[in-house]
Amino acid sequence: MPRWARWLLFALLLLLVVLLPFGLFGEAVEKWVGRFIAATHQQPVVTGLVLALLLVSDILLPVPSSVVSTAAGYLLGFWGGLTASFFGMSLGSLLGYWLGKRAGRGAAVRIVGKEELERFRLLTERWGAWGVVVARPIPVLAEVSAFAAGISGMNPSSYLLLTGLANLGISAVYAATGAFAASAESFLWAFGASVLLPGVGMMYVRRVRGEK
């Protein structure tokens, strides 16, 4: 099998791992998240833990992370929402890296070979930092980049630093959006912003790619 075909097969399998749960469980998970947000009252600690765990599970389940992070700011205020979102997103990023390194590398070696995987590692060392940061706010790309970082053997310290800073910035934006919506007493505004912001991120990525 040609080199490009092996990489195409591996990329399709990686995308399948991320996209398949959306097709199987996406609607059910979104409905549950919506009911939880609507039913939450004066239980900030429990609310924060559940929202953080939802964000951790986003690496494997079709959790609407932008809605969850915005809801964290809406329900817990800026600082509470920032904390829940940051720790949830960061632990999810770490889980994705670990899964990629533990399970994905073996699959990658079998499909593309050790030599190609080493080339991928060198490419990641050169350009992977930008990819990890830019992909964090983008649905699907965020999960794929986490798996890819682990598969390529990206330096874990660099990965944690880059994703931590990216997650902090993203969480701050969503938490501020949710907190503002709470002060305006309109979760509809927060929901709209949580849908709009990932779209803006996608447009930015396309623009950057178009300029290259």
Looking at residue 193, its pLDDT comes to 47
Residues contacting residue 64 through CB under 8 Å, at least 6 positions apart: 29, 30, 33, 194
d(CA 102, CA 13): 16
pLDDT of the chain along its 212 residues, tens only?
666 566 577 667 766 766 666 666 657 666 766 676 666 656 788 889 999 999 999 888 878 888 889 888 888 999 999 999 999 999 999 999 999 888 877 776 666 666 666 666 666 666 666 778 878 887 777 888 888 888 888 888 888 888 888 898 889 888 988 888 776 554 454 445 444 555 555 555 456 545 54
d(CA 41, CA 47): 9
Look up tokens 């986003």; give the residue: 58
| pTM summary value | 0.72
d(CA 145, CA 151): 10
Under 8 Å between Cβ of 88 and 33: no
d(CA 107, CA 123): 19
Q: Largest alpha-carbon pair distance within the chain? A: 59
Which tokens belong to 144? 């794929």
d(CA 130, CA 76): 31
> Sign of the C-alpha dihedral, residues 27, 81, 92, 122?
positive
Looking at residue 96, its pLDDT comes to 92
Looking at residue 83, its pLDDT comes to 96
d(CA 81, CA 107): 37
Which residue, among 147, 142, 127, has the nearest Cα to 201 in the 3D structure? 142
Looking at residue 165, its pLDDT comes to 87
